[in-house]
Structure formats: C-alpha cells, structure tokens
Structure 1
Amino acid sequence: MALQQGRLIKWDDAKGYGFIAPADGGDAVFAHISAFVASRARPAVGDKVRYSVRQEKGKGLRAEGVHLPLLLQDRIEGAVLVAMITATLFFSAVLWLSREYVFSYFLVVALVALSVITLLLYGWDKRSAVKDKQRVREDTLHLLALAGGWPGALIARPLFRHKTRKQPFATLFGATVVCSVACLLFFLLSEQAVTLRNWLDIEAMQWRTLMQPVIAI
C-alpha cells in the first residue's frame, strides 16, 4: 500500500503523540511515538513524514508505519557524535592544563563522574516525562552542568532527544556551559587561585599516598 505524505502540525514530546496534516488536505491524523518506524530521531513540529492510516473505532484516523526523513535521523546521530568528541576534547584539555599538579587525574575523574551522573539524570527525566511520572527539577540539571557535568548534558540532549529546543532551558544551558568553563579556566590559570591549587595538590598527594597500599594489593 502506498504511503501518504504529510507534516506534523502538533507534537507533545513529553507524552509521545501528536497530529499529522495530510499533504493533500483532509482531517488531521493522530500519531503515537510507537507508530514511528526505525527512527533514531525524535519527531518535532514541522517534520515531513510518510505514513499509512487506519480507522480506529470511535476514535478517528490513526497513523501507522510513520517514517521520518533519513536526513533528520542522520542529523540527530551526528549531533551525538559531535557532543562526544567535544566532551573528549574538553577532558583532554583539562588534563593537559592541570598536568603539573598531582590533583590533575582526580579533577578529570570528578568531572567525568559528574558528566555520567548528569547524563543518567537526563535519561531518567526523559523516561519520567514519557511515563508521566515525577520529573527531575530543571534547576538540578542546570546546577550539575554548572558544577562541571555539562559534557554529559551535551551528549544526553541529542541522545535522548530531550530539552534540545525547549526555551528558556536551551539558552540557560548554554550560559551554564560558558560559566562552568570560565570558572574552571580561572581556577587552573589565574594567579589568584594559586593558593587553592597548591592546597588541593597537597591533599591529592596525601590521598595518593593513602591509596598506594590498596593499589599494590
């Protein structure tokens, strides 16, 4: 059976459903996320789609076998790859900038841990949104990004197709990334933070000494 063409005119990403306007006119067709075929991308208002329809008793038309454009799928997949490369470059840069200090590896491990926690919370929030359960507070996600977990959020947003377009969240996220990187550069490079860096170096040296017998075992 030939597929019809249309465009998403309404989409509730949290609940996973919306409506398609047929290209040749007619009544809007209900579409649930489960009807989208082999799609790695999250639907959005304005997307052109191909689909078939069936009549649901007492409920009207319902879309089946909905296909998103392949270019859209590739774009989302590419965004995840770019985010992963950006995160890797960031961690590498932090390791290089702090190479003269004992706390260098501790710092990178802490940032990676924060990023993993942030990524998992984005995934949890997406799952909660779809299942209409209690959500993770947006200020919690922003605070984690500000504390250094933004690489995890950078990956999570296109990976889970979550909070990529919502405003003012997207703008605030960008601001937290800039502030987080600026604070980290100030800590690693400024003369004003020398005392703090030296103190952390002494603490890191003590921790490394304490951990040596454990590592030897």
Structure 2
Amino acid sequence: MKKQGTVVRWDAERAFGFIRSPQIPADVFFHLRDFTGHPGPREGLQVTFDEIHVGGKGPRALSVSASTNTILAPTAETPPDEAALLPPGRRATPRSTPPHLKKRDDRLVWSALGLMALWLLLWLIGIGLGRFPWVVLTGVVMLNLLTFYVYWRDKHAATAGDWRVSENQLHGLALAGGWPGAWFAQQILRHKSSKQPFRSMYWATVGLNYLGLLAWIFWPQLSGV
C-alpha cells in the first residue's frame, strides 16, 4: 500500500533526501534514482512511496512520486509554462545556451587545455635538463588516471549515499600533479563543477602546482648550482 509524506530534507549535491510521513515513526531515506516525475524532489513536496527495510539501516522509500493532489499556488513571479502558451499540437523547444555564454565556456575550455599543454611542455623541459627521468611521465599519467577514478568514486558515493572522499583529498591529488585528471572529471562527470568555493581552491592548487614545477626545473640555473 502506498504511503504519503512530505520531503523534509533534500541534498541536491549528494542526490538523496528524507521523507516524513505520519504513518511511519522515523524519517524515510530515498535516492534520486528512486524518484519519478518532473521537475524533481524538493523540500516541502508531498509524495507517495513504497516503504522497505534493508538490514538495520531504517526505512527506505522506493517508487517515490509527487502526490497527484499536490497543488502549487501560483505566484506573481512565476510565469506560465511555455507549453500552455503554445497552440495545440506544438511542443516547446528547449532553450539553447546564449551565444555569449557559449563563447565564454569555449574560452574557458581552451584556456584549460592550453594550461595542460604548457604543463606537459614544462615536464619535457625538465626531462631534457636532467631534472626528471623519463619514467616520471608514466607516474604523471597514472596519477591523473587515479585522480579521475577518485572523482568517479566520489560521484558514485554521492548518489548511493556511501562514504565520500573528502575535498582535501581531491585537492591533494590535484596539487600533486593530478589537476588535469581532476579537470576532465569535473567536465565529464559533472562533479564538483558548480561548487564555487571548491572550484576556487582547485584553481589555487593548479597555480601552486605550476609554481612548484617551475621552481624544481629552473631553480638550479637561477641559483647557479
């Protein structure tokens, strides 16, 4: 039998939340993947769901959907749905990214790729000057693959409600030289790509990585050693 409740907590970053129902003494846990409907879960939304119990973890909700009798009061700030303004038989077309925003995103992508190319060039210069052995490139590649995997693991843990990787560990991998892998993970997995404090710290680790690499390569020449 379907139960009714209200979403009392929703963590969009970690993709899970809790439902409070008068029929159940404890708040009920649910994942985003257990929710069906549009636009998605939010705090205060009335829902129906099936309750299950997994081990000793407490109640969990499956087949969560918005209650059909949920009525959202219109506000002056909320414009009518575009579909309601179209003639019958026509569908609203999705909005494309404004040209100026698309150009800005393209510039950011090319800037990041340019930084990676320059970073790789510095490694090759260091190898040519005898500061690093050739085998170091293998270590750099492995570190970046590891960084991408750790991001993927953290993304999976966020949706599954499992143990998360700390942000300090992610920044540590970037600082050690895994920042290109971190960048690709942010773009491909869409993980940690919109959290501004994290992004600011990430770019700080990129700058520190550059400074450390430059100092290691050129300090002997500058100091006369």
Scaled by the length of structure 2, the TM-score of the pair is: 0.53
Q: In the aligned structure 2, how far is the partner of 1:104 from the partner of 1:67?
A: 55
SS at match of 1:31: coil
Preserved CA contact (<8 Å) 1:83 1:155 = no
Say which structure, 1 or 2, has more relative contact order (CA 8 Å, 6+ apart).
1
Q: In the aligned structure 2, how far is the partner of 1:156 from the partner of 1:133?
A: 19
Displacement after TM superposition at 1:83 (Å) = 4.2
Instruction: Look up the match of 2:97.
Output: 71
Displacement after TM superposition at 1:11 (Å) = 8.6
Pairing 1:168–2:197 present: yes
Sequence identity percentage:
27
Instruction: Look up the match of 2:47.
Output: none
C-alpha distance 80-56 of structure 1, shift in aligned 2 (>3 A): same
Q: CA RMSD in A?
A: 4.2
Tell me whether 71-80 or 181-190 shows the greater mean CA deviation.
Answer: 71-80
C-alpha distance 32-181 of structure 1, shift in aligned 2 (>3 A): same
Instruction: Look up the match of 1:12.
Output: 12
Q: Which deviations, in whole Å up to 9, do the C-alpha atoms of 1:159-204 show, x marking residues without a partner? A: 111112214211111111111110111111102899xxx9xxxxxx
Pairing 1:31–2:39 present: yes
SS at match of 2:164: coil
In our comparison, the structure showing a higher alpha carbon Rg is 2
Question: Which consecutive unaligned segments of at least 5 residues does structure 1 have?
Answer: 1-9, 18-28, 34-54, 199-217
Q: Which deviations, in whole Å up to 9, do the C-alpha atoms of 1:31-58 show, x marking residues without a partner? A: 249xxxxxxxxxxxxxxxxxxxxx9544
Task: Read off the aligned partner of 2:153 and give its amino acid letter.
Answer: W
Instruction: Look up the match of 1:112.
Output: 141
Scaled by the length of structure 1, the TM-score of the pair is: 0.55
Question: Which consecutive unaligned segments of at least 5 residues does structure 2 have?
Answer: 1-9, 18-36, 42-64, 72-90
Matched length: 153
C-alpha distance 67-31 of structure 1, shift in aligned 2 (>3 A): farther
Instruction: Look up the match of 2:122.
Output: 93
